[in-house]
Amino acid sequence: MRIATWNINSVRLRLDNVLRWLKESTPDLVCLQELKCQTDQFPKQAFEDAGYNCAVHGQKAWNGVAILSRFPIEDTHTNLPGDSQDEQSRYIEALVSTKDGVLRVASLYLPNGNPVAEKYPYKLAWMDRLIQHARERLLLEEPFILAGDYNVIPSAEDVHNPAGWVEDALFKIETRQKFNELLNLGFTEALRATTDQAGLYSFWDYQAGAWQRNLGLRIDHLLLSPQAANRLSGARIDKYVRAWEKPSDHVPVLADLEIEAR
DNA sequence: ATGGCCAACCCCGTTGGA
């Protein structure tokens, strides 16, 4: 079973890219972020024609998350508990049934948090809500994958110029501490479980020739519950799609688990 | 990491992204 996360920065504009990548990388589950469309504008038919069921939580203009699944989707939840006033579409969770039993997967789009003076409190509060929710989900002892755009650079090896990022909401010490708090509940970060190589990035800014100069960040992650981590067999980043025409500024991050696909 | 971008919306300049 192959699972991926990808911030696609507009699903409608990126549809051809995503369909091409689905054919080439053959994931069974895909967590998408930054759909930038309402739920009823999501190109559901195109993904169904490609063999995927869809769980979608859209929003006008910004945010929006979805899960594509080759497995039947048994149940979905949108919104992260803990703030009934929060109207941003940044979380969707689905329970899917595989040949080996149920698997729980979440697609999340964690707030960026910049500028810090204005938006950082929302980011930290959102992370606290995520930690609380994840803690409850782990009690179920299911294979559970928390995948998405975390807007968190976990360590200095994950950014081209760490010194320049220490005050940024993606790399501030409080951000990394909260990410570690989440990991320490018992999650395994899929890519880091397979390699300690520095300079593996999942995002390159459109500005300032960041892609051409390889000035990237690793901010998209797959967190695995113990029941999922026990079956991890590999992880990788599909960096090559960043060189395609009309690319997203993020690329897919993937993990392979020894779970029967169907 | 800010000289250089990109997307949605309708206001075709403004807002948001990272």
Question: Which architecture characterizes domain A2-257 according to CATH?
Answer: 4-Layer Sandwich (3.60)
Q: Is A151 labelled as part of a ligand binding site?
A: yes
- Residue at token pair 């329970």: A95
**Tokens found for residue A19:** 């369909």
**pLDDT tier at A260 (50, 70, 90 boundaries)?**
confident
Domain parsing of chain A, residue ranges: 2-257
Instruction: Please give the backbone phi and psi of residue A155, each rounded to the nearest 5 degrees, phi first.
Output: -155, 175
Q: Any residues with CB less than 8 A from the CB of A45 and at least 6 apart, and which?
A: none
User: What's phi and psi for A143, nearest 5 deg?
Assistant: -65, 120
C-alpha–C-alpha distance, residues A100 and A159, integer Å:
37
List CB-based contacts (under 7 A) with strand B.
Answer: A 7, 9-10, 12-13, 34, 36-38, 60-62, 111-112, 114-115, 119, 149, 151, 160-161, 164, 170, 203-210, 215, 217, 219, 246, 249
Quote the pLDDT of residue A79.
Answer: 86
Residue A106 CA to residue A50 CA, distance in Å, equals 21
In tens, the pLDDT along A199-222 reads: 999 999 999 999 999 999 999 999
The mean pLDDT value for A167-187 works out to 97
Other Cβ atoms within 10 Å of A177 Cβ, number: 12
